[in-house]
Structures are given as structure tokens and as C-alpha cells.
Amino acid sequence: MIIDTDELALQDASHLMTDIVVPRPIAWVSTVDENGVYNLAPFSCYGLVSGMPMVVGFSVGAYRDGRKKDTLRNIEFTKDFVVNVVTETLASAMNVTSAAYPRQVSEFSEAGLTPVKADIVNAPMVAESPIKMECRVLQIIEFGKNPVTNSLILGSVLRVHIADKYWNKVTKRVDGLRPIARLGGEGDEYCRTGDVFQMKRPTI
């Protein structure tokens, strides 16, 4: 099968990409608006951009009518955000926050989560998440034409909060974290990261 991407309908193109690019880690992004309302939403177009300097990036698509989502509007206003890690125990709460609530409704309240003040940025952190990254916007790159647009948000990681049980002080590595990731398919599929194997990088 050969597929020319410019011949695909919007939904078919989205399904194709999300079926191919798997698994996708989840950026559980918390922000705050100009009225002090906290927002929390998951995004699976997310990844590590740079290890040093520490930069992460995630993509926010517009609503079908072209309106910007609250996450993007808030980030444009405050120029910052927090990425909270979603573990297996937080999967259900994360799913609750994926709904399209009215702007004046906080997903923290809907999901029974606790917002806590960040040290540097305006956005709140999810207290229940074991790892939180305070980020400041580096760049927002726009793709597409209205109403079909996506915004790639690049953020500099200013501070990382890690629950002590997951931080190995000897190796200075994160141990025991059980994050979940997004898959494709018709059933809103996710995966766990418990099935792990190793391959040593070859030396030349």
C-alpha cells in the first residue's frame, strides 16, 4: 500500500499518524488563565527535544471550528506551563481531564486532583504526579491553515520536581517510574511500560 498524504481526509491523516508513531508519551500539561482558572490537559504529541539545554515539546491542535484550546491560549498569555508525568495510578484521572470542559471549569476539580504552586512559573503543578517539570516557552511554531492548525510548543525546563522514591541518589537516575503511553487503534488504546528489554550499543 502506498499512500499520498495530500489525498487523505483530515481524520484519516490523523489516524494514520497516531497508528504509526507509537507509543507516544503523554504530556499532562497544567496552565493558568488570566482569571486564575487552572487548566489541565493531556497531549500525546510530545517528546524530548534536547537533553542539554533541557527542552521539551508538545503539539496542540485547534478545535474543528478553528478555535484555540485553553492550553494554548493560557501559554500564550503566561509564557509558561508545567509538564506532569502520568503514571499507571493516574491514568483514570488523566482521562477525565481529556474532556472539552468550558473555559471557566478547572480540570483539577473535575478529576479530584490537587493543584500546588510551582516555584518559578505561574502554572500550577499536579501534586499527585511523581514528576513535574516547570517550563518556560522558547518558541511556538504554527502549522496548517485555519481551521486545521497545530501549534508546536517548545519549552525550556527550568526546574524538575521528583518524588524521592523514584530518584536514585547514587546513579542520579529515575528508577521505578511506571508511566503510561498512548497507542493508536480504534479503541483509545494505551500501554504500560513494564515489558522492558536491553540491547547494548555497539562499540566501533
pLDDT at 6: 87
Q: Which residue has cell 485555519?
A: 146
- Residue 35 counted as domain residue: yes
177: amino acid identity, one letter: L
- Residue 17 counted as domain residue: yes
- Residue 27 counted as domain residue: yes
Is the whole-model pTM more than 0.85? Answer: yes
Pairing of β 167-168 and β 125-126: unpaired
The 3-state DSSP class for residue 21 equals: coil
Q: Are 78 and 167 in contact (CB under 8 A)?
A: no
- Residue 16 counted as domain residue: yes
Q: At 131, which CATH number?
A: 2.30.110.10
- Residue 133 counted as domain residue: yes
Q: Which of 42, 62, 27, 24 is nearest to 185 (CA)?
A: 24
- Residue 56 counted as domain residue: yes
- Residue 199 counted as domain residue: no
- 186 pLDDT above the threshold of 80: no
Q: Which domain holds residue 182?
A: 5-192
- How many domains does the chain fold into? 1
User: Which pLDDT tens digit goes with each residue over 49-67?
Assistant: 999 999 999 999 999 899 9
Pairing of β 190-192 and β 27-32: unpaired
- Residue 198 counted as domain residue: no
C-alpha cell at 12: 484519516
